[in-house]
Amino acid sequence: MLRNEDYGIDWSWHDAEGLSRVVNVSGTMTSLGGSITTERVARATAAAMPRFVNIHELQARASQTIARLTGAEAGFLTASASAGISLAVAGCITGLDPAKAEALPTRPGDTNGVAVQMGHLCEYGAPVSQAIALAGGDQRIVGQSTLTRDYQLEAALDGCAAALYVVSHHVVDYGMMPLDTFVRIAHAKGVPVIVDAASEYDLTGMLATGADIAIYSGHKFLGGPTSGIVAGRKALIRAAYLHNTGIGRGMKIGKESMAGAIAAMEQWMERDHEAIRAEETRALTIWAEAVAGLPGITAKPLPDPTNNPLERLRVWADPALAPASAAQFVVAFGKLDPPIVVRGHEVEKGYFDLDPCNLMPGQAELVRDALKPVLTDPAAGAIDARSALAGARNGGTESYLTWLT
Ligand SMILES: *Cc1c(COP(=O)(O)O)cnc(C)c1O
């Protein structure tokens, strides 16, 4: 149905390696390789590959770039944001003490509590609670899933080494304590605040609000190689960095990813954000036009739930009028050649989203031309509806369980 050559997309690497082609309109997904880099970032990564380097010097260079990007005193790079959470917690527990670092995670001492709001205990591919536990942190759950009160945080902070705050579309979006209040209460008890802002475009706001450490993914909107950015107060950053001699060993970042992440951060500070936004808006517009008037289908661009400067096209499917449900359509898009992976996180509510952030040239048009044929195809209604829904809920784990079977 879709003739790949019509869109000028280069699939030569996938084809030569025998890998499935993928068009990603779902967002920055680990299961699809995170993000795609520019030539500039790819070149910086490649340049580091065949050379030795003093790693501490390269990390100090990263620290300068992170400081410019985030307003932090200092920073370092690690394998991922998830690793960054563990290292930040570890640093807050031990300070700059190599013997204490070596004792983690089994002997963290008595001051190893990590206060975190119940509504922030999300999963981003793994539970955030596990990133705390990997460092020897003892999670102190604050409040209930949809409400945190000030006194609950105050009471939880005794015996805490850190308080963790998560900014994400994955967390409960009402009843949570605002970051400034969270910081004020934690600081009054002398407890540093770590913010997991892995997927947030706001690179300065968390630290400006008083957070002691802010953590970002290098491979999400920044478009770097897989990496985690840990930024914050110098003493805590140094303590967290020390854990590369301990629990951080298995979270090691290589020189090539560091060079690429530095290039990605520099690129971010220079790039024409408005032009990229305009290109994303163009994609949303041609997609919305393509689905306009289709039976049982409604679509509308919606702002990102955590106010990132980004919109996605939400597509509702009414199975009484359209040939299939949203969950069935998600599966149908995945069966195309090339497969189109749409954002189906909330498909049980009767919609899916189209994310314009990771498009290669030609892909906006390819997606546009696939929309009407799929959304009017009676065959989509024949897809097993129950397993389509179960796939959306359990697919992430299923892919691991069925791997190599
Ligand atoms: C993606 C994400 C993570 C994990 O980031 P990685 O860099 O892939 O480890 C952690 N927290 C939140 C809120 C995320 O969105």
CA 55 to chain CA centroid, nearest Å: 26
Q: Which residue type does 2 have?
A: L
CA of 30 to the centre of ligand 1 (A): 9
CA of 145 to the centre of ligand 1 (A): 20
* H or E element, residue 217: strand 213-217
What CA–CA distance (Å, rounded) separates 241 from 227?
A: 14
Backbone torsions φ then ψ of 52, nearest 5 degrees: -85, 160
CA angle 365, 367, 373 (to 5 degrees): 110
What CA–CA distance (Å, rounded) separates 36 from 42?
A: 9
Ligand 1 pocket check for 226: Cβ under 6 Å: no
**What does the domain layout of the chain look like in residue ranges?**
4-33+272-401, 39-270
Ligand 1 pocket check for 166: Cβ under 6 Å: yes
Q: Residue 266: CB partners within 8 Å, gap ≥ 6? A: 65
CB burial of residue 140 (10 Å; 0-12, 13-18, 19+): buried
Ligand 1 pocket check for 199: Cβ under 6 Å: yes
Topology given in CATH for the domain delimited by 39-270: Aspartate Aminotransferase; domain 2 (3.40.640)
Rg (C-alpha) for the chain, rounded Å, is 22
Which atom of ligand 1 approaches the CA of 197 most closely? 13
Ligand 1 pocket check for 93: Cβ under 6 Å: no
In this prediction, residue 4 carries a pLDDT of 65
In this prediction, residue 172 carries a pLDDT of 97
CA of 217 to the centre of ligand 1 (A): 6
In this prediction, residue 2 carries a pLDDT of 62
CA of 216 to the centre of ligand 1 (A): 8
CB atoms within 10 A of CB 301: 17
CA dihedral (49, 53, 54, 57) in degrees, to 10, reads -80
Backbone torsions φ then ψ of 354, nearest 5 degrees: -115, 120
CA of 154 to the centre of ligand 1 (A): 27
CA of 258 to the centre of ligand 1 (A): 18
Which atom of ligand 1 approaches the CA of 85 most closely? 10
Q: Of 129, 168, 194, which is best to mutate to test ligand 1, by the most ligand atoms within 8 angstroms of its C-beta?
A: 168
Stated length of the chain = 405
DSSP 258-322: HHHHHHHHHHHHHS-HHHHHHHHHHHHHHHHHHHTT-TTEEEEEEE-TT--S-EEEEEEE-TTTS
* H or E element, residue 332: helix 326-334
Ligand 1 pocket check for 120: Cβ under 6 Å: no
CATH node for 4-33+272-401: 3.90.1150.180
Please give the DSSP secondary-structure letter assigned to residue 360: P
Please give the DSSP secondary-structure letter assigned to residue 206: H
CA of 139 to the centre of ligand 1 (A): 18
Alpha helices by DSSP H, listed for 95-209, are 98-103, 128-133, 150-156, 179-188, 205-208
Asked if 85 and 215 touch (Cβ cutoff 8 Å), the reply is: yes
Which atom of ligand 1 approaches the CA of 226 most closely? 7
Same fold, 4-33+272-401 and 39-270: no
CA of 29 to the centre of ligand 1 (A): 10
State yes or no: cis peptide before 301, omega within 30 of 0.
no
Which atom of ligand 1 approaches the CA of 227 most closely? 7
Helix (H, G, I), strand (E, B) or coil at 390: helix
CB burial of residue 314 (10 Å; 0-12, 13-18, 19+): middle
Ligand 1 pocket check for 80: Cβ under 6 Å: yes
Per-residue tens of pLDDT for the chain, all 405 residues: 566 668 999 999 999 999 999 999 999 999 999 999 999 999 999 999 999 999 999 999 999 999 999 999 999 999 999 999 999 999 999 999 999 999 999 999 999 999 999 999 999 999 999 999 999 999 999 999 999 999 999 999 999 999 999 999 999 999 999 999 999 999 999 999 999 999 999 999 999 999 999 999 999 999 999 999 999 999 999 999 999 999 999 999 999 999 999 999 999 999 999 999 999 999 999 999 999 999 999 999 999 999 999 999 999 999 999 999 999 999 999 999 999 999 998 999 999 999 999 899 999 999 999 999 999 999 999 999 999 999 888 888 999 999 999
